[in-house]
Amino acid sequence: MPVKPRISVGETFRSPFGRGGQGHSVKSFADLMSETDISFVSSNRPSTHRMSSVTYDFMDSGVTPRFSTSSDTSFASIHSGPKFISPSYHQGFSSFSQDSGRTSFTGSTQSLGDMESEMRRLKLELKQTMDLYSTACREALAAKRKATELNRWRIEEERRLEESRFSEEASLSIIEKEKARCREAIEAAEEAKKRAAMEAQRRLNIEKALKGVEKTKRAKDNLSYHDIRYRRYSIEEIEVATQYFSESKKIGEGGYGPVYSCYLDHTPVAVKVLRLDAAQGRSQFQREVEVLSLIRHPNMVLLLGACPEYGILVYEYMAKGSLEDRLFKIGNTPALSWQIRFRIAAEIATGLLFLHQTKPEPLVHRDLKPGNILLDNNYISKISDVGLARLVPTTSENVTQYHMTSAAGTFCYIDPEHQQTGMLGVKSDVYSLGILLLQLITAKPPMGLTHIVEQAIENETLKEIVDSDVPDWPIEETLCFAKLALQCAELRRKDRPDLGTEVLPEINRLSDFAEEKMIHFFFAKDFGPSPNHNLTSITPPISQISEVMSNTIAGNQGSPKSQSSA
């Protein structure tokens, strides 16, 4: 039996898969792979470190492991514990031991060097692989952590989004509630505003009423104070002057009582006595005294005095009577010339405008008609019965329907709107003025007069309806006069012109035209013009002119001259 060469311990090959003396158990590759699987990422086990330690234990043992590339060697056959070498490997190793005995020491050394080189290379590759694997694991771990964070962030964002949605819904709900409250608040504010406006209006009405009461009181106080402006006559003085109200002194009868002419304080006056049976007589008296005692105007009948105890008024005496008497030639008085009629129209409009411009409120006459226009010796016209219309008795004896109605004023002269609605204004007097102006040029009764004049203008027959007692009417100016009168007598108040800005300027123009014609007429008869005549104050020469013109007209008609002392 040949002697086997003795191989020292340092020269013998040891299994690279088992190093019993190091105290480490060698695990199979499958176990290693199971421990280094990426599944450790989910369990947070750092298995890479253990695998690395096993690998480096192989290297540090000083034994060169053999990795066979043949098919009879498998990493899967490696087991931990005493049985770590498979039978196939043991057989190969025995053959190798036998063959190695037959090889030389030099060949063994060379093979060992190659193996060491191969092992170093493999170790380097394994190290690189493990580094790559560790890097991949770290990246996978970082990615998983990042994915976890992203998932957590997504969940957090979803939660925030849900909270935002809930918050938005809650906000919308709050907004809707606030809108509802706002609408309620607006409605409440509107209601409060309406109530405040109503309350303010109520307070204004109360204040206005209080001011009215205070104003009335002041007016009464002022009137009481101003009562001293008119002369107070005793009943004895008036009885003596009127010869105890003799019928011979009686010059007229009004709706409120008789009128007497007499002398008081050596002055011709007209005395009006209120009817004792008139229910409103004393109020009527008080009204006229209060108003007329404060009125001073050339075209207003002047109140000279009164007897308050017996309801007697004392006026200035108007020698030529009323315009109605002159238009209808009562007592065979001569007709008025068209020049005088135009001037009278201007005087009436001037006096009426004065009443409408009184303060604090305009004074409405309410009963303007030819019977309440009086003429003095100079044929200057003045408005009478101011302030009486509102207190005239509703029924009176010896007064026909032509003169009086149940309404204040005379029927044909009353504003139709005032009759229908009871609304009274300055335009009510404008209507009465229009009817009066039509009577000035036609000398006809007021009933249906507007229709007659309208038809005449349409048919161009105005010359046929004007007063025939006046032969020389200027047709063009008379047509303007008639059209202006019809405008004043419009049924609707809003269609009537303004007295101050429209009516009076046109009437003044026509009056100036008439005065020029009057002066030229009397220059031809050697009459000199008055140096200071005007619309409100005519001097005695003008009176002479009027008398001459009236006589001329009467002479042309073949009627005798007559005068009325009414």
Rounded-to-integer distance, Cα 494 and Cα 487, Å: 11
Domain assignment of residue 160, yes or no = no
The answer to whether the Cα torsion of 425, 430, 435, 436 is positive or negative is positive
Q: Is residue 221 part of a domain?
A: yes
User: Do the domain assignments include residue 267?
Assistant: yes
Range of the domain at 218: 168-225
Domain boundary among 225, 249, 271: 225
Asked if the structure places residue 258 within a domain, the reply is yes
pLDDT > 70 fraction of the chain, expressed in percent and rounded = 64
Tell which phi-psi region holds residue 170, choosing left (phi > 0), alpha (psi between -120 and 50) or beta: alpha
- C-alpha 111 chain-centroid distance: 117
415 is catalytic: no
> Which is catalytic among the residues 367, 415, 429, 467?
367
CA distances from 328 to 322, 371, 469, 502 (A): 10, 11, 11, 29
- Residue 412 sits in the same domain as residue 381: yes
Q: What does the pLDDT read at residue 222?
A: 59
Question: Are 529 and 523 a contacting pair, CB within 8 Å?
Answer: yes
The answer to whether residues 295 and 438 belong to one domain is no
Which value, in Å, is the radius of gyration of the alpha carbons in the chain? 68
Residue 220 and residue 234 in one domain? no
Q: Is the pLDDT of residue 64 over 80?
A: no
pLDDT in tens, 364-382: 888 899 999 999 999 999 9
CA 241, CA 261: separation in Å to the nearest integer?
A: 9
pLDDT cut 90: percent of the chain above it: 34
Same domain, 312 and 330: no
- pLDDT exceeds cutoff 50 at 439: yes
Report the alpha-carbon distance of residue 207 to residue 205 in Å, rounded. 5
Has residue 157 been placed in a domain?
no
Tens-digit pLDDT profile for residues 289-348: 776 777 889 999 988 988 878 888 899 999 999 999 999 998 888 899 999 999 999 999
Task: Note the pLDDT of residue 171.
Answer: 85
Structural domain count, the chain:
4
User: What's the Cα-to-Cα distance from 193 to each of 189, 206, 309, rounded to whole Å?
Assistant: 6, 19, 55
What pLDDT sits at residue 32? 46
Give the residue from 287, 317, 347 where a domain finishes.
Answer: 317
566: in domain: no
Per-residue pLDDT at 224 exceeds 70: no
The angle, 0 to 180 degrees and rounded to 10, between the axes of the packed helices 338-356 and 426-442 is 170
Residue 42 CB contacts under 8 Å (≥ 6 apart), including other chains: 144
